[in-house]
Structures are given as structure tokens and as C-alpha cells.
Amino acid sequence: MLYSDCGLVIDPSAEDLVAIAAASAVSCRALMRVEPKIAMLSFSSKGSARHAKVSKVANAVAMLNDQYPEVQVDGELQFDAAFVPAVGASKAPGSDVAGQANVMIFPNLDAGNIGYKITQRLGGYAAIGPILQGLAKPANDLSRGCVAEDVTQMIAVTILQANTG
């Protein structure tokens, strides 16, 4: 699964979220070798709440659909609606993404950074990154707390980016 943006853009605009999602679609294909199913995350699912932060995500989804009609994207979705099939079917009936998303686009850096660290620490999953996207040539970063395995994984990611760019 790919999480974005967890390390760079503090409070992205709707246009920023579109660029982040588009770059993440490319990364998903290159690094995971699968078609992206992008969930634009929020504290609301399909209008269950009204707030400017929800509108920003909904506007980004509309722009993504206009600019990248070939990419499967849905939102705004709460994480459970994006990840759990039964919840996705309930909160976003008829969605091709809800309950099966493999790319999670967080609405801001707070949510993204917290989300990936919870996944890593409580879920026991490997967190590879931050992976920089949208650059002319591959360049990546390592966390201050990284270990040797993290360095090896990041080298592998950078090689994949170089060979598919």
C-alpha cells in the first residue's frame, strides 16, 4: 500500500492533492506493479460531514476525474471506507475504490505522518520512505531513525524509479 503525502507538504491545496495523487499513481505502477486505486482520505465519507476541509478533498477528486479520467479514484473517504470492503460498500455503494484502495492520499501532513507511524508501530508493517515524487531524476530521503535495512530498501526503490522513469 502506498501512503502519500506523509513527509513534505504540510497543508496541501486541492490542486496540490491532485498533483500528489497523480504522482502517487505513477509510483504505484512503478513500485508495486499494480494499477492504483486511489482513496482521497478525509474525516467524512461521501458528504457525511460538511466542512471546508471536506470540500477541499471533494474538489480534488473532481479535478482528478477531469484531468486523469483513466485513474481510479474516489473520495472523500474515511480510512475504514477506503480499506474495509464491507464498510466501503456501506459508506460508498457502487464505488470501484472503496474497500479496496491501494493508494491512500492524506488530506494534510498531520494525518499522513500520524497514519504511517501508527501503521508501522502498531501494525508492524515496514515503512519505506519518504519517497520523493515528481522529480526529473530519482532522489529519496531516509528518516533520522533509519537502520541498515531501511537504507537497502530505499536503494531498491531508487533503482526501480530510475529503471521506470
Let me know if residue 95 belongs to a domain: yes
- Per-residue confidence (pLDDT) for residue 52, from 0 to 100: 96
Task: Print the domain residue range for 46.
Answer: 2-126
Of the candidate ranges 1-15, 87-101, 145-159, the one whose mean pLDDT is the lowest: 145-159
Give the CATH number of the domain where residue 9 resides. Answer: 3.40.50.10750
**Sheet order of strands, 72-77 included:** 2-4, 103-105, 37-41, 72-77
Q: What's the pTM value of the predicted model, to 2 decimals? A: 0.90
pLDDT tens sequence across 18-72: 999 999 999 999 889 999 999 999 999 999 999 999 999 999 999 999 999 999 9
Q: Which residue has the higher pLDDT, 5 or 165?
A: 5
Let me know if residue 133 belongs to a domain: no
Q: How far is CA 116 from CA 55, 66, 75, 90, in A?
A: 24, 29, 19, 25
Question: In total, how many domains does the chain have?
Answer: 1
Residue 165 has pLDDT above 70, yes or no: no
pLDDT tens sequence across 83-127: 999 999 999 999 999 999 999 999 999 999 999 889 988 998 888
Let me know if residue 78 belongs to a domain: yes
Let me know if residue 163 belongs to a domain: no
